[in-house]
Copies of this chain bind each other. A is one copy, B any other.
C-alpha cells in the first residue's frame, strides 16, 4: 500500500499505525529467533552499496517498498548484536523495555538542552542516575549526567580535570604559553583507547598519555605508576589525571583502585574510574567489591548500553565535582538564557558537556530499571557471570585449550594450544580458528593480543544468551579445532 502524502504534513496516522504494528510484530519475531540469521554478516565490502540507488528518489516511495528493501538488502548486511551467539567485543542488549523506551523518546523528540525545553527529561535524568548510583553502591555526593558514549564521558572527565588545575586553560588555551607545564595523564597499557583519544582531542598529546605497565594479571602496577609520576614531576611535567579501569576491554582485569586512589590523593591527580563494562557488576550484591575504591574517584563512568540492557547509546558519568564540569563547559548565549537558569533554580544539561543537543535518554533507562527491578537486573548479570565462569572451567579442563587471563566477570580470554602444534604456530592456528568459527554464522567471537599472543575472547552480555548457547560455542570451537588439525589429505 503506498503512503498517501500531501505536499505538506507528516505520514497519514493510520498508515503509521499499520506500519508501526507491522514493525512491532517483526521485532517481536526477530528477537524471539535472532538465530535464524548468521550472527556475523556475510556481506562482502561494497555488497550493500551496490544494491542501493546512487541518487536519491525524486518522488515519495511506498513504505512497503522501503521495508522490503530493509529486509532484502540491508538485513543481510547486519551483524546481529541481538543473536544469543554474539560473544564479540562486549556483548550488549537493547532489551524490549529499552526498545519501547527508544520508541517513546523518538516520538517525543525533545531536546533536553535546557530544563525548560523539557523539565521531565532533565529531572528524570537526575532520578534515574541516582537510582543507578544506589544500585551500584556508590556514595551520595556523586552527581550523574548522561552522555552518549564512554568515549565522550572519559573525554569530558579529562577536560574537567584540566579545568580543575586552575591554569586558565578555558580562556587562554594550551598553545603558545610559556607559563604552562606539559600536562601528563596516566593510564595502564590495558586502558581503553578512548581515554587516549580523548587526551589527543583535548590537545594534550598522545605522548603525554603515559602507559603504566600492567602485571601478569593485566592490572596496573601501582609502584610503576608512582615511579612514573615522580620521575615526570622531577622532569618538569605536571601530572594531573589517572584512569583506573574496572573491567578492561581486552581481558576485563580490575585495576587496584584503592591503591591508585592513594597515589592520586598523594600527588593530587584527578582519579577517573572507567567501569563502562565491569562497573555494572556491582549491581550484584556479592560482586559489589569490584567497585572498591571507586567511592574515592573524582569521576566514574558506567555504560547502561553495555551491560544493563539499554539500547545504545547511554553512558552514565558520575562526578563529585559537577561545579568543575560546569566551569569547563558552560557557555550560555543570550538566546539560550532562561529565567530558571539565570536564577540557578534548575540544572540545564547543556552546561555539563560538549553537546548542546540532548535526547531524552533517561526514559529508556528508567523503563529498563523498572521493568526488571534491582533483583531482576542482578539476576541477569549474575547468570552472565556464572556462564562465563562455566566456560572458563571448560577451557581449563581441556587439554587442547588454555585460559590467557583471569575471568573476573563474564568475558573469557583463551586460546587453542593442542600439544601437536608448536608454540610458534599458535597465533596462526588461533587466527584460523577464529575465522572458522565466525564463518559458521552460529557464533561471533573477537580477539585480542596479549603479550604478542593471539587470544580469543568470548564475552557474555546478551539478555538472550543461555547456557545452551555457550555450550554450543564451546562445541563450535572444539569442532573448528578438529577440522583445522586434520591433515589436508583427509578432507
Contacts and interface: CB of A to CB of B under 8 A. Distances in A.
Q: Which 5 A-B pairs have the closest CB atoms?
A: A173-B205, A203-B203, A77-B120, A94-B109, A20-B24
B16 A49 contact: no
Of listed A11, A61, A194, A345, residue having the most chain B CB within 10 A: A11
Which size class do A's interface residues fall under? Answer: 35 or more
Contact of A120 (B74, B94, B383): B74
Contacts of A173: 174, 182-183, 199, 203-208
A389 interface: no
A79 B119 contact: yes
A47 interface: yes
A28 B48 contact: no
B174 A124 contact: no
Contact of A169 (B63, B66, B203): B203
Contacts of A172: 205, 207-208
A379 B7 contact: yes
Contact of A117 (B11, B89, B103, B149): B89
Of listed A52, A103, A109, residue having the most chain B CB within 10 A: A109
Interface string A269-290: 0000000000000000000000
Interface string A39-71: 011010111110010111111110101100010
Nearest to A387: B8
Interface in A111-166: 111, 115-121, 123-124, 126-127, 130-132, 134-135, 148-152, 155, 159, 162
B370 A57 contact: yes
Contact of A464 (B10, B78, B198): B10
A36 to B, nearest CB: 14
Given A74-B120, A119-B45, A371-B3, A99 B92 contact: no
A182 B175 contact: yes
Interface string A192-217: 11101111111111111000000000
A41 B169 contact: no
Contacts of A115: 45
A448 B170 CA distance: 25
A79 B329 contact: no
Nearest to A126: B49
A289 to B, nearest CB: 20
B203 A8 contact: no
A127 to B, nearest CB: 5
B58 A151 contact: no
Contacts of A92: 109, 111
B124 A48 contact: yes
A250 interface: yes
A286 to B, nearest CB: 15
A79 B110 contact: yes
Nearest to A24: B20
A447 interface: yes
Contacts of A373: 56-61
Contacts of A182: 173, 175-177
A407 to B, nearest CB: 16
Contacts of A96: 10-11, 13, 15-16
Nearest to A367: B66
A59 B375 contact: yes
B312 A111 contact: yes
Given A94-B106, A103-B103, 15 more contacts: A8-B380, A10-B96, A27-B103, A41-B116, A43-B119, A54-B130, A57-B369, A60-B373, A77-B121, A78-B119, A94-B107, A99-B109, A162-B203, A173-B183, A201-B201
A410 interface: no
A448 B135 CA distance: 43
A329 to B, nearest CB: 7
Interface stretch (A255-263, A318-326, A349-357, A394-402): A349-357
Nearest to A314: B357
A312 B355 CA distance: 12
